[in-house]
Structure 1
């Protein structure tokens, strides 16, 4: 069997949590392939990280760009971080807005994992960056953000189903909520909600802190807990 050479692939790596996960994995000694639509100066500056541009999670061709770049190499860890969040509330919903959430947050990640299936082997791990907002059983997070919540719930369903399908092949799958993180995406949503600029980062985890917490859970992922939906900020198992 071909060796994975401790290879980690991060999809959505050009900024925020994906960037910090790539940085942390590189520091841990992984060979890191950082995939994104377009690189950033911060990502390009990371030593020993190979950047693959033109990877659009919402495009079938984007998946094939990464497949070609990997050239059949075995992947120890696949993290799909790319996501989309736009503020909308009931009364302002439209089909296009809901659709793009599903394409990026639910359909794209599952198709990406499917496209890379032949790069995975027994002992590989697949991790989807999920969200507590996708938990139907968690009523603590309030309303609005319909597209984001609905699409993340769909991702949870797809990831849990994939965990069952891949269990017999020794490939573990997890869905991890990274916590409320100080990223451009989160700040822009808070701005749309009318939160004053000085308060938009209040109570949020720093991206590097979140990345370390996510990877701490990844370290514990194995075939005994495959299919788990975790919160990285608390370490708790979340309700579906």
Structure 2
């Protein structure tokens, strides 16, 4: 039984991950900006009251991050999944950019995953072969050819590099670090025309977590079990 903390657990892939891990008997710490307003998360908690606990977390707020870390007390944490993310502003092409919105996108998608990971390192160091997985996207791969969603693409490309660096710095401690492409998922971000349900993506991501090891850290995983170019 592992203890897994998931950010952005209020809907979509994050909510499906909470349910997937709890259904197989893992302890889950689910975080959301305002848990009291999230009906879907409350329903999962009611199904798994002994396995799922919910905490408030604003991933761009250092005070909120520190408060979450303090609430963990001296408990070990085996897995951190940085799932919280945003698509970015309406105007985000290389020819017409909302620069303030671009900066906000970086705060959520790039800075926050590292800030959360740093704050939770004491708990991860108490875990058993701890792992940090950040949900990225194929759109952030330097091999991707598209030019739409520049704020989103660039923030994810940047967090990929951040996690590569973190993997190097934590290798000596035996903490594995990776990123993953969750697929094109039917969520608020992915839209109704997407290929995968959140449950399909979450199932694939749980398998990635299970396979992660220090010997293959870092890696850019895909939800279906393959890997891709950075």
**TM-score normalised according to structure 2 size:** 0.91
Structure 1: state its 5+ residue gaps: 188-200
Answer yes or no: is 1:117 the counterpart of 2:117.
Answer: no
Map 1:3-82 to 2 at 5 A: 6-39=2-35, 40-46=38-44, 47-48=48-49, 49-53=52-56, 55-82=57-84
Report the equivalent of 2:151. Answer: 147
Map 1:91-110 to 2 at 5 A: 91-110=95-114
CA distance in 1, matches of 2:84, 2:194: 22
Map 1:129-140 to 2 at 5 A: 129-139=135-145
Say which is worse superposed, 159-168 or 38-47, in terms of deviation. 38-47
Deviations 1:61-109 (A, max 9, x none): 1211211221121101111100000343233203201101100000000
Report the equivalent of 2:207. Answer: 216
Q: Is 1:130–1:176's contact at 8 Å kept on the other side of the alignment?
A: yes
- What's the offset of the Cα at 1:120? 0.9
Structure 2: state its 5+ residue gaps: none
- What's the offset of the Cα at 1:13? 0.3
- What's the offset of the Cα at 1:219? 1.0
Report the equivalent of 2:225. Answer: 235
CA distance in 1, matches of 2:76, 2:108: 25
- What's the offset of the Cα at 1:203? 4.0
- What's the offset of the Cα at 1:132? 0.7
- Matched position secondary structure for 2:190: helix
The count of residues paired between Structure 1 and Structure 2 equals: 219
CA distance in 2, matches of 1:211, 1:74: 23
- Matched position secondary structure for 2:216: coil
- Matched position secondary structure for 2:152: helix
- What's the offset of the Cα at 1:231? 1.2
CA distance in 2, matches of 1:165, 1:68: 23
- Matched position secondary structure for 2:60: coil
CA RMSD of aligned residues (A): 1.3
